[in-house]
Structure 1
């Protein structure tokens, strides 16, 4: 298993010089963040990103993420050109030597939380999702902003998108994912790139909008679209762990050949679809992290693994969930689990 760390580029307060001091940390997960969604990623920009990582003695191992345009998810008329652009970006990534690309098919927004600064008993601050808050809000009628939302949308644009998605069923969204994968997977195979889909976060519908990547059955349906190895999974223990029905070790052993990227983090389920993010240790949350590593060992997983969201500890400030200190502790914990399982 290759230990890695998410880095948000030159503007990230967490520097590559800090990251490489974490024991056994040799791989970076990053992206190009200023290219508009739907535009082609220039090969020169990808090469520059790769070079900046390699100058610090690290390897750019995963692109997270290459975003999918909303018109593709909605199945709108412009999707064919946008998919062609996506193919070109994949080709450019392949030419620069990228082998793993993460994406998601979550409508409108990425991960959603109701509190970025929830205070745990030890005084650290973490991310929290309160379902009672979400179910009593309507982003169309309320001047609402929640973490994880795309900052580029105006209020009018977001309301329009939400109205469109509310007319769709889960099957409609699956149809559009199928259309997308049928187009891009041949390019991924040609370029020897593993596409890895991130599960929905949280893994259930919010605001009346469908979400489809959330359970074992979801992955079975995904692989029924195309069982080629490149149709891959980003296995996120935090997202999938929010649903008690998800047996994470069993899912790993079932879909092992298609898991090419792993996010390791812990959450504590609070009931009623609410949860709080905790430190990485098994005893602090609802996910048995050791059993996850044992399952990855059983499938002989050799891909990239990274500590995911961390708490803010020791007075650190910065991008919520993406500070240095607690993610470094998480990486060290993951190292210990891997060594313990190996020996």
Structure 2
């Protein structure tokens, strides 16, 4: 596995590239141009700026998260071809600097949903928290205003400008079914996957988070069956999955290990995180350690090891620990701890299989 680390850019992240460089085994950053609205072309010059910043620390920028899909594409409106053409140009621009994977999602209106950015854990750390009853009884506008206006950092997928069209979008989606949304995804993939094949860059769809309908909006990336359906829409290795253990794992009927085995040739990128599931349907994110949550992280790493996974992996959301002031879910300390736990498991499986070689990049170089 190839370890990468999500970074939100200079001036937009509490974590610096110099700090990421000190985490053993990290070879690249997972990045995006977060200020470019969905549907607009990412300028090549801006992309090259990020590459230059990464090059200074020896990082690659091969994984992009995310190039967001314009709502016209999801809704299947007459304007969608214009925005698909823009997406295609962005793919070409990213390929020009060596990008290999584009993570994206097809969630209507907004991305992930949580009710508390700083839920309290028993060890007094905090983490992203989802309260089932609160979501079922909450006005979605209220929730969006709470997250989109977070005073510390703009939260990807909850940008403040979304507030301007939110009520209109909710009304528009009332007539969109899951089948409609799947058809619109197929239309998009049939247009862009040939471009991806020509430029050697893979699309990797992220699961819905959480993986069930929220606020009456359709969701189509929630189960193993739906993932297979999406892979069948355009049967190409360039139509892939960002397999997120935390997003999919909050459904007890989802078997992440089975998914790794089934989709092993279609997973260019993986998110790994742990979640504590509660009997009332709530869940809160935890450390990556297997025993601290409900997701079998040890078995997930073993499954990746067993298939000799060569794709990219990043530690997903972490707790907020040691009084760190950071973007919710994206501090330095707990994600760095998570990386070391993942490498520890990987190295242990290497030894158990009698392999002496390691694919961990050596980041320690003595100054001359």
How far the C-alpha of 1:145 sits from its partner, in A, is: 2.6
Preserved CA contact (<8 Å) 1:61 1:100? yes
How far the C-alpha of 1:44 sits from its partner, in A, is: 1.5
How far the C-alpha of 1:139 sits from its partner, in A, is: 2.5
- The residue aligned with 1:93 is 94
How far the C-alpha of 1:155 sits from its partner, in A, is: 4.1
- The residue aligned with 2:222 is 214
Q: How many residues align?
A: 342
Kindly indicate whether residue 305 of structure 2 is the aligned counterpart of residue 297 of structure 1: yes
Kindly indicate whether residue 331 of structure 2 is the aligned counterpart of residue 323 of structure 1: yes
RMSD, matched Cα: 1.3
Kindly indicate whether residue 256 of structure 2 is the aligned counterpart of residue 255 of structure 1: no
1:145 is paired with a residue of what secondary structure? Answer: helix
Preserved CA contact (<8 Å) 1:261 1:303? yes
CA distance in 2, matches of 1:67, 1:319: 20
Kindly indicate whether residue 240 of structure 2 is the aligned counterpart of residue 239 of structure 1: no
- The residue aligned with 1:124 is 125
User: 1:162 pairs with 156, 166, 170, which one?
Assistant: 170
- The residue aligned with 2:365 is none
CA distance in 1, matches of 2:229, 2:120: 38
CA distance in 2, matches of 1:68, 1:156: 18
Kindly indicate whether residue 318 of structure 2 is the aligned counterpart of residue 332 of structure 1: no
- Alpha carbons of structure 1 residues 230 and 65: separation in structure 2 relative to 1, 3 Å: same
- The residue aligned with 1:78 is 79
CA distance in 1, matches of 2:268, 2:307: 12
TM-score, structure 1 normalization:
0.97
Preserved CA contact (<8 Å) 1:53 1:59? yes
- Alpha carbons of structure 1 residues 156 and 33: separation in structure 2 relative to 1, 3 Å: closer
How far the C-alpha of 1:296 sits from its partner, in A, is: 0.8
How far the C-alpha of 1:156 sits from its partner, in A, is: 5.0
How far the C-alpha of 1:273 sits from its partner, in A, is: 3.2
- Taking the TM superposition and a 5 Å limit, the aligned residue runs for 1:141-220 are 145-147=145-147, 150-153=158-161, 155-220=163-228
CA distance in 1, matches of 2:27, 2:239: 26
- The residue aligned with 1:276 is 284
Preserved CA contact (<8 Å) 1:108 1:150? no
TM-score, structure 2 normalization:
0.90
- The residue aligned with 2:65 is 64
How far the C-alpha of 1:42 sits from its partner, in A, is: 1.1
- Alpha carbons of structure 1 residues 38 and 277: separation in structure 2 relative to 1, 3 Å: same
